Amino acid sequence: MARFIFVTGGVVSSLGKGIASASLGALLQARGYKVLLRKLEPYLNVDPGTMNPFQHGEVFVTDDGAETDLDLGHYERFTGVNSTRYDAVSTGRIYSDVLAKERRGDYLGATVQIIPHITDAIKAAILKNSETADFVICEIGGTVGDIEGLPFLEAIRQLRNDVGYRNSLYIHLTLVPFIPTAGELKTKPTQHSVQELQSKGIQPDILLCRSDRPIGAEERRKLALFCNVKPECVIEALDVSTVYQVPISYHQQGLDEEVCKHFALEAKTPPDLTIWEQIVDIVNRPEGDVTIGVVGKYTCLVDAYKSLHQALIHGGIANKVHVNIEWIDAEELENGSKALLVERLSPLHGILIPGGFGVRGTTGMMLAIEYAREHKIPLFGICFGMQLSVLEALRNIGKHKEANSTEFGPTSMPAVGLMTEWAKGDVVLKYFPGGDLGGTMRLGTYACQLSRDSKAYDIYSNAHISERHRHRYEVNTAYVKELENTGLYIVGKTEDGVLPEVVERKDHPWFIGVQFHPELKSRPFKPHPLFISFIKAALNQNRLF
Ligand code: GLN
């Protein structure tokens, strides 16, 4: 049977529970164990697919097409294990399943209650398909004390009785702030948050203490005493220069050793952390740097582009350089002067247009594409970015001013149009306009065929690729001639040859648009080939700046 580790958070949000869980996963993996990471989300949405990126950050898409929290991206990047839809569980999902059962009469007349029906459903979700893992690490979203989180805390409290003390471990991630006026680190917020947890029947076994400076012996003693944990289980989690340092620094603080001790596992040889050391070494001592501009709509919240940001860093790691990212608000370009556009875009070595929705900011994104095309700056269009590169070409080179996406309203030249059905293996999936918005896009992994005479083929060294998708609109092949007349070619299509997946320019050193999201599959120890190539092209330009 798997062993269960529950990670809760206290004091404030944004302490990095996702990175902490993912890093512990990486450490246990480095000790030879098979890990499974799961996120339990207290919010009422069924999934984050319909949530505003400004509020919720990126929507991470799994191979099997679930729209999930961005923490699943951390899990995949740190462990290389691909998540599934069962690894993201929200209150909304639990309640809709329980209510559907109630409607079917499955509860045989019982009064349906939070305890035991909701908590049983949460426990079943935690246990689902866990048999083959050595460890299941479950992160509970939110902060201890949130009303929404109570059923989850109750469920994990009960689980210790179900699976046994030696098969379960509670880790509490907390903040130990430095108060300048007092000149000391304060333990009281952690004491209160642990008391809150204890009042729900949960005694944390390990405290993971975020702090901006080392936690002295006296504070450790206090934390251990007041929070009822062993002093060696007060683990310091200092701020570090790169997230990829976290597994190493947790190991140095003894986290994985304490975890193994709790589960009465023989201390094997120390974990092999060479890959993390190599990554950190390149990140801290790059041989050069490169500046990439990301022109999008959600640039004021970098979390909205979490995987993209990491994939660019990975591309830099592969080329041994630091990637400076300029987050450029597309609306700023669209509302500003030509001089501002040149000021913002001319220093860039590469321009990336990320995924997005809705018409706002698209003029600015197309101005950036035009600038990159004319000045031969490497241009990478992802999903929305690919669709806009098609519109830019048709409008500016093809003089088809009316070319548009039906996402933005009716048009006489729907160069990008709504897909209403698409094939997934032998199954035809349909979308009915006016129906539900949630979970109805073309989601998850689909295969794609690349033309052998394309740059994309050279980059992948393979004609058959598979990538993750999240879109509802698609480049319209009715206009392929008009598009080719502008120099933009469709070089990748779905295996049935129906849907365009990759476009590129032959008259440009590096101009590629992809309908999928390659950033979701990039890992620090296995950077995505498109990002490696994009950063390389950005580095190798002979432009004068
Ligand atoms: N809005 C576009 C579509 O739905 C692009 C989506 C995206 O960039 N993820 O097709």
Tell me which residue has its CA closest to atom 6 in ligand 1.
Answer: 471
Residue 277 annotated to the active site: no
State the average pLDDT for the chain. Answer: 94
* pLDDT above 90 coverage of the chain, percent: 89
Give the pLDDT of residue 440. Answer: 81
Is residue 256 scored above 60 in pLDDT?
A: yes
Q: Does an H or E element contain 137, and which?
A: strand 135-140
How many residues in the chain?
545
Question: How far does residue 382's CA lie from ligand 1's centre (Å)?
Answer: 9
For residue 420, report the distance from its CA to the centre of ligand 1, in Å: 14
Strand partners, 4: 136, 168
Question: Reduced to 3 states, what is the DSSP secondary structure of residue 40?
Answer: strand
| pLDDT tens track for 523-533 | 999 999 999 99
Residue 266 CA to ligand 1 center (angstroms) comes to 49
| pLDDT per position as a tens digit, 113-146 | 999 999 999 999 999 999 999 999 999 999 999 9
Q: How far is the CA of 405 from the centre of ligand 1 (A)?
A: 11
Please list every protein residue whose CB sits less than 6 Å from any atom of ligand 1.
355-357, 383-384, 407, 470-473
Cα 5 to middle of ligand 1, angstroms: 36
Instruction: Give start and end residues of each alpha helix (H) in 451-540.
Output: 455-460, 480-485, 529-539
Which atom of ligand 1 has the smallest separation from the CA of 383?
8
pLDDT at 156 over 60: yes
User: Can you tell me which atom of ligand 1 is nearest the CA of 356?
Assistant: 8
Probe residue for ligand 1, chosen from 416, 446, 470, 514 as the CB with the greatest number of ligand atoms within 8 Å: 470
HSE-CB of 109 using CA atoms within 13 angstroms: 0
> 3-state class of 392 per DSSP?
helix
- State the catalytic residue, choosing from 251, 309, 517, 528: 517
| DSSP code at position 46 | S
Tell me if 250 sits within 8 A of 235, measured CB to CB: yes
pLDDT in tens, 435-459: 777 778 899 999 999 999 999 999 9
| From 51, 294, 383, mutation site for ligand 1 pocket: most ligand atoms within 8 A of C-beta | 383
Domains of the chain: 3-278 (3.40.50.300), 287-416+476-491+500-544 (3.40.50.880)
Ligand 1 atom closest to residue 355's alpha carbon, by position in its atom list = 8
Decide if pLDDT at 306 tops 70: yes
Question: For residue 544, what pLDDT band results from cuts at 50, 70 and 90?
Answer: very low
For a substitution probing ligand 1, which of 473, 515, 516, 517 has the most ligand atoms within 8 Å of its CB?
A: 473
Distance 503 CA to ligand 1 centre (A): 16
How high is the pLDDT of residue 268? Answer: 67
Instruction: Give this prediction's pTM.
Output: 0.94
Ligand 1 centroid to Cα of residue 425, in Å, is 22
Q: Which two tokens stand for residue 484?
A: 């080719």
Mean pLDDT for 223-233 is 96
262 catalytic per annotation: no
Task: For a ligand 1 pocket test, name from 390, 407, 474 the mutation site with the most ligand atoms within 8 angstroms of its C-beta.
Answer: 407
What pLDDT is attached to residue 545? 46
Average pLDDT over residues 241-252: 96
Closest CA to 283 of 292, 275, 273: 275
pLDDT digits (tens, 9 = 90+) for 490-513: 999 999 899 999 999 999 999 999
Percent of the chain at pLDDT exceeding 70: 99
HEC secondary structure over 55-74: HHCCCEECCCCCEECCHHHH
Q: What is the pLDDT of residues 384-429, one digit of tens each?
A: 999 999 999 999 999 999 999 999 999 999 999 998 877 777 787 7
Which residues are within 8 A (CB) of 506 and not within 5 positions of it... i.e. 6 or more apart?
487, 489
Active site residue 260: no
Choice among 227, 383, 392, 469 that is catalytic:
383
Mind listing the pLDDT tens digit for each residue in 352-386? 999 999 999 999 999 999 999 999 999 999 999 99
User: What per-residue confidence (pLDDT) applies to 543?
Assistant: 54
Q: Whose CA is nearest to atom 9 of ligand 1?
A: 355
Its sign, for the CA torsion 516, 538, 307, 354, is: negative
Query: Can you say whether residue 480 is alpha, beta or left, with left for phi > 0 and alpha for psi between -120 and 50 degrees?
Result: alpha
